[in-house]
Structure 1
């Protein structure tokens, strides 16, 4: 699986381009990092790739997954996971039920779904916490749970939007290693937006500078 962008460009409602057209290739199991100044449109770029572009913005160019054009598909049909800087958990659900929310509908039956979640919790170092209230988790535990919920959806590509920025230094290194190990082992093409050069160094892949479009 690979993620490819071809001349992707985003314009605001008044027709002004946010950044110069972007063409890049993200191979399976690799992390490509996008960096650039605040306000250039890095998060908006990820929204466009994932199919979540806000009203008022317009995209041109093509998004392909493994050669398949997904540009016109709704977000739920693209199989592109998105992980934010806030490890958001549904407060009314247990930790396990939060992870189960990410399971594909094709996995049927209470027992198989429970087993898939238990396996994911174990991989994340959260074994035995299925019934735990997510409010009782540490920051690192919440971050690992949020990542596993995203991975349980079996994404064909992964987008990381400043995913490590709110963790303290020790946890940031731990979560980088945890995330990139899973990306590699599952051969998921990953595009990461970050302000932190250490994130890019840890990812070990190409670094792309998102450049503002010249003024009209």
Structure 2
């Protein structure tokens, strides 16, 4: 993701070294549990940062921001300061910004922790939908089995600091390793 300088090796995407690239030029978007919204900016400005960090948005870009707000269920909240949003609204605003960037790699670190079950499922479905639209690879970190199952694809299960090889999510939950079964509880 580029938060820390490399001490060895290289990070490559489709054969390109990402190291020398500026963060905004990299082919990825990251969405954290904390949402990383700027509290002094409006919701629309926070989302607009996904398009132009200088916030000099044209009419077409402003329309895309409005569409993103509508898509995550925040129509009409664009003028509100980010600091005035509830936790769930902030999660959705951050998701709108991430989806608007339409990068080929979407890293999601517990992005829906502040959402209730129904809205969580709705936002996960939206991530799947947009990922399909832009052919993005989604890497989701979650402690919620429903999120992993809902996203489908492959899962890398991590236990005691050791990552297992990627496997089909359906196969993983059909025959969970002992550590996962212990986490899930009795069958």
What TM-score comes out, normalization by structure 1 length? 0.63
1:51 equivalent in structure 2: 2
- What does 1:27-66 align with in structure 2 at a 5 Å threshold? 50-53=1-4, 58-60=7-9, 62-66=10-14
Separation of aligned partners in 2, 1:145 and 1:87? 8
Deviation at residue 159 of structure 1 after TM alignment: 0.4
Residue 143 (structure 1) aligned to one of 68, 91, 102: 91
Deviation at residue 103 of structure 1 after TM alignment: 0.9
Deviation at residue 109 of structure 1 after TM alignment: 5.2
Q: Pairwise CA RMSD of aligned residues? A: 2.8
2:101 equivalent in structure 1: 153
Q: Could you say what secondary structure the match of 2:47 adopts? A: helix
Structure number having the greater helix percentage: 2
Aligned length: 161
Preserved CA contact (<8 Å) 1:79 1:157: yes
Preserved CA contact (<8 Å) 1:95 1:132: yes
Distance 1:114 1:85, change over 3 A: same
Query: Can you give the 5+ residue segments of structure 2 that lack an aligned partner in the other structure?
Result: 164-187
Separation of aligned partners in 1, 2:35 and 2:53? 23
What TM-score comes out, normalization by structure 2 length? 0.71
Runs of 4 or more, structure 1, over 4 Å off, are 105-109
Separation of aligned partners in 2, 1:107 and 1:92? 14
Query: Can you give the 5+ residue segments of structure 1 that lack an aligned partner in the other structure?
Result: 1-49
Preserved CA contact (<8 Å) 2:42 2:82: yes
Separation of aligned partners in 2, 1:107 and 1:185? 25
Separation of aligned partners in 1, 2:108 and 2:40? 25
Q: Which has the higher contact order (CA 8 A, sep 6+)?
A: 1
Preserved CA contact (<8 Å) 1:107 1:113: no
Distance 1:197 1:168, change over 3 A: same
